[in-house]
A and B are shown apart, each in its own frame.
Chain A
Amino acid sequence: MTASNVETPLIGYPQPIASDTGDGSLDGVRVGVVTFPGSLDDRDAVRAVRLAGGSAVALWHDDHDLQGVDAVIIPGGFSYGDYLRAGAISRFAPLMEQIIAAASGGAQALPVLGICNGFQVLTEAHLLPGSMVKNNHLHFICRDQRLRVENADTFWTSDYAPGEEIVIPLKNQDGQFVADNRTLDELEGEGRVVFRYVDENPNGSRRDIAGISNAAGNVVGLMPHPEHAVEAGFGPDSSARGEVEVRGGTDGLGIFTSVLKKLVR
């Protein structure tokens, strides 16, 4: 089975999106979503891209072709069952070699977003510094998590205001971000801490870091799941923007509209 013949039906009736340019120009942006054996949230990421107005392209880890996509999302899940270390085996998939080369390509570098297991893959691939180890309390955690967008200049966060808070789901066991102090100081000094946990640090991550970027800002990884907070009726029960209806939170959508608009400009 290849990823391209897996259907990803949209559930419900997506509402028009306020941030859309209104002329349909975003749907020309093609965002690839990589499926590994054990990926879980690839379909959700595909839906998030579509709901944001873009075109999603299913990519299979064992292919050698990025199909000319304009950006790539490495989704959450447990690729290769987290064997060895989370992301350690996926990092050597044929398609990852293409992604690593394209993401390191200077001014024209491919925008890449790693969510949860995707973030772990990006650190194992050395596209992002640091690593994830088991949560300090050892429990799998699943909750709606408040974050602060510390850097709104990346490809994936430009639709947010600097310092804006969002609520999106967090669900993992190996979510504790660690790096040595020199790396942490460098990340802070260069504005590469993109998301920080607010109110409570859920897993012992150094300096409350929930997400980071590379120096160029095209590669971003975060542990919480923006793709699970993109459509009213299927999101968290809360939002940083005020009261919402049950499962009405859509604070994660800005991640996806950010990259689409950046690529259209």
Chain B
Amino acid sequence: MPRIVVDVMPKPEILDPQGKAIAGALPRIGLTGFAGVRQGKRFELTVDGEVPEEVLEQARQAASTLLSNPVIEDVTRVEVIEDGAQ
């Protein structure tokens, strides 16, 4: 079953407190190679059968209206992926 993947990230200018907390925790487990962390969200919308263009367009609409808030977040990806792919 194909999936449409939607990635949403906090806008670069918005402080991401969760990412910051994760960045602070990494050195505690000995992982010191990272300058920063930003935390986003990934949605997977499954579709029965093929993904026609209008369903992909619906996914783009969902991404910009419900799945993200344009004041604080950017949609960074809306893409069809086939079974097994990531």
- Residues on A lying within 8 angstroms of B by beta carbon are 84-85, 88-89, 92, 123-124, 129-131, 133-138, 176, 178-180, 204
B21 contacts across to A, CB distance below 8 A: 138
Do A178 and B67 have beta carbons less than 8 Å apart? no
Q: Which residue of A lies closest to B16 (CB)?
A: A133
A136 to B20 alpha-carbon distance, docked (Å): 9
A137 contacts across to B, CB distance below 8 A: 17
Do A179 and B69 have beta carbons less than 8 Å apart? no
Instruction: Mark out the residues of chain B between 3 and 54 whose CB falls within 8 Å of any chain A CB in the assembled complex.
Output: 10, 13-15, 17-18, 21
Do A84 and B66 have beta carbons less than 8 Å apart? yes
The answer to the question of B71 belonging to the interface, with a C-beta cut-off of 8 Å to chain A, is: yes
A84 to B72 alpha-carbon distance, docked (Å): 13
Q: Is the interface of A mostly helix, strand, loop or mixed?
A: loop
Do A131 and B72 have beta carbons less than 8 Å apart? yes
B37: min CB distance to chain A, Å:
13
- Residues on B lying within 8 angstroms of A by beta carbon are 10, 13-15, 17-18, 21, 66-67, 69, 71-72
Do B71 and A178 have beta carbons less than 8 Å apart? yes
Task: List the 9 shortest-distance A-B pairs measured between CB atoms, nearest first.
Answer: A131-B71, A134-B17, A131-B72, A138-B17, A138-B21, A131-B69, A136-B17, A85-B69, A133-B72
A135 to B10 alpha-carbon distance, docked (Å): 15
Do B69 and A138 have beta carbons less than 8 Å apart? no
Contact of A130 among B17, B18, B71 (CB under 8 A): B71
Q: Which residue of A lies closest to B43 (CB)?
A: A84
